[in-house]
Amino acid sequence: MAKKLFIKTYGCQMNVYDSARMADVLAPLGYAKTETPDDADMVIINTCHIREKAAEKVFSELGHWRIRKAEARERGGDVTIAVAGCVAQAEGEEIHARAPFVDLVVGPQAYHRLPELLAKAERHRALASGKGSGVLDTEFPVESKFDHLPEQVATPPGPVGFLAIQEGCDKFCTFCVVPYTRGAEYSRPAAAVIAEAERLIDAGAVEVALLGQNVNAWHGEGPDGKTWSLGRLLRELNDRFAHKHPKLRWRYTTSHPREMDDELIAAHRDVAGLMPFLHLPIQSGSDAILKAMNRGHRAEDYLRIVGKLRQARPDIALTSDFITGFPGESDRDFEATLQLVRDVGFAQAYSFKYSPRPGTPGSLMPQQVSDAVSTERLYALQALLQEQSAAFNRACVGRSMDVLVERPGRQPGQLLGRSPYMQSVVLNDPAVKIGDFITVTVTDGHANSLFGDVAGASREAA
Ligand code: SAH
Ligand code: SF4
Ligand code: F3S
């Protein structure tokens, strides 16, 4: 009988991708994925370390699994508990100390060694009854884990396929843990990316999202042996696979302003399947804060990139990330952030209060900003960003758009799709199903979503 594997994923899309790949690695060992935690023989908690709140979730989640494991043992069974992801990498030893019932801790670069770790955990378990088995692997291999992951896809991709093309980060922004938890920047060779894209599309994906912590820093080896840029790769992918689906979509995330080169900007003009959307985090609009964050560019550089992007693709929707209350941020610095937001006009954005992370230079800086001030700025920024996203969405009312239906909505009978601009589109039409690619007339626009009616008989099965 197949053993059941439950994976709980926190954090970014890289973790979502990795969770699917861990299922791939474990499939040959007889593990089949389950969506119900209660019947799991093994659980993987794939964790995120980006802010304190994210990291804290791990220990509360583990509390629940400790009880599940004890109950299973009383019945003569067991539940194997694995902690993966960025908290595993950053706090592996602490997890074993605080939660000794955890069987294995595996860092993001060691997933290809899961079978070996599991075998080790089982051997340990035979010796240490009652406790976990305390296996830890957070080594960074010399070469990338991608080259060691199996090819088959244990989980069908659904309408949107995630494809990691780049891993790690060398930017060392002074607030961020990613360079420590994910290791150095690595680009997969174009041939591997092309092969995986083809598998995803053949398995039913009609949108492929290329992923990386610094996706536009991708500089992989091209099939011609030369180093390619992301712009070149996107052209190649679209040229090769556009014939497979008339509306095949490409996206990429997350990008860094410093890596937004002209070839990539030109791809937004020339590559028909590349969606008119870009998530381009800036964090702050103040040059002094950008410098203290080690972002490597000024506010005016960002504005110049935005200008070029809009020239290449006038309707491009831009989104971003912001941090309020970075050490040393004054009222004037914060005002510069608000001004940048007004100058750009975002379709949507994420904003966070600065969270000092252990081991990062930011956490040691003097002039930490009080929580009250960070919070006040966060609310002011969010009010402005909400106004902008509501205005962007309202301006879409009456337009007709291609929508890819991705998943069930909150209310019964509702489905959620994505517009080309990455807006969530709520649909209430019994004839529509997940995977449909439909033309929708936008009937209403709110800050976080659009509502739409299916227009005419434009329905196409994906
Ligand atoms: N690689 C991406 C971001 C990855 S992390 C980039 O360079 O932009 C996603 C977002 O989390 C960041 O853009 C930032 O806004 C936020 N973030 C990262 N570390 C943080 C911290 N210590 N406190 C608050 N927000 C943080
Ligand atoms: Fe973190 Fe900066 Fe790297 Fe983004 S670019 S992952 S924010 S260090
Ligand atoms: Fe979190 Fe690690 Fe992603 S810290 S945001 S899961 S790279």
Kindly give the distance from the C-alpha atom of residue 102 to the centroid of ligand 3, in angstroms, as a whole number.
21
Which atom in ligand 2 lies closest to the alpha carbon of residue 283? 7
The answer to whether the CB of 86 is under 6 A from ligand 3 is: yes
Pocket of ligand 2 (CB under 6 A): 169, 171-173, 176, 178-179, 213-214, 256
Distance CA 155, CA 12 (A): 18
Pocket of ligand 3 contains residue 14 by CB under 6 Å: yes
Residue nearest to atom 5 of ligand 2 (CA): 171
Segments in the chain below pLDDT 70: 126-133, 141-144, 152-154, 456-462
Please tell me if the CB atom of residue 297 comes closer than 6 angstroms to any atom of ligand 1. Answer: no
Same fold, 3-137 and 145-394: no
Predicted local distance difference test score (pLDDT) of residue 129: 57
Taking the CB of residue 203, how many other CB atoms lie within 10 A of it? 13
Ligand 2 centre and the CA of 178: distance in Å?
Answer: 6
Pocket lining: 26 vs ligand 3, CB cutoff 6 Å: no
**CATH number for the domain whose boundaries are 400-461:** 2.40.50.140
What pLDDT score does 154 carry? 67
- What DSSP element (H or E) covers 95? helix 85-98
β pairing state of 249-253 and 42-47: unpaired
Give the per-residue pLDDT at 142. Answer: 56
Ligand 3 center from residue 133 Cα (angstroms): 26
Indicate the domain borders of the chain.
3-137, 145-394, 400-461
Q: What is the DSSP string of 268-280?
A: HHH-TTB-SEEE-
Superfamily of domain 3-137: Methylthiotransferase, N-terminal domain (3.40.50.12160)
8 Å CB contact between 245 and 273 = no
Q: Is the CB–ligand 3 distance for residue 12 below 6 Å?
A: yes
pLDDT of residue 2: 87
Quick check: helix, strand or coil at residue 136? strand
* Ligand 3 binding pocket includes 182 (Cβ within 6 Å): yes
Q: Is 437 in the pocket of ligand 1 (CB under 6 A)?
A: no
Q: How confident is the model over 322-339, as pLDDT tens digits? A: 999 999 999 999 999 999
CB of 134 closer than 6 angstroms to any ligand 1 atom: no
Which residues pair with residue 186 across a beta bridge?
167
Report the C-alpha gap between 14 and 162 in whole angstroms.
Answer: 9
Å from CA of 442 to ligand 3 middle: 34
Architecture of domain 145-394: Alpha-Beta Horseshoe (3.80)
Burial of 330 (0-12, 13-18, 19+ CB in 10 A): middle
Q: Specify the residue with its C-alpha closest to ligand 3, atom 3.
A: 12
CB of residue 378 inside a 6 A radius of ligand 1:
no
pLDDT recorded at residue 389: 98
**Span from the CA of 68 to the centroid of ligand 2 (angstroms):** 36
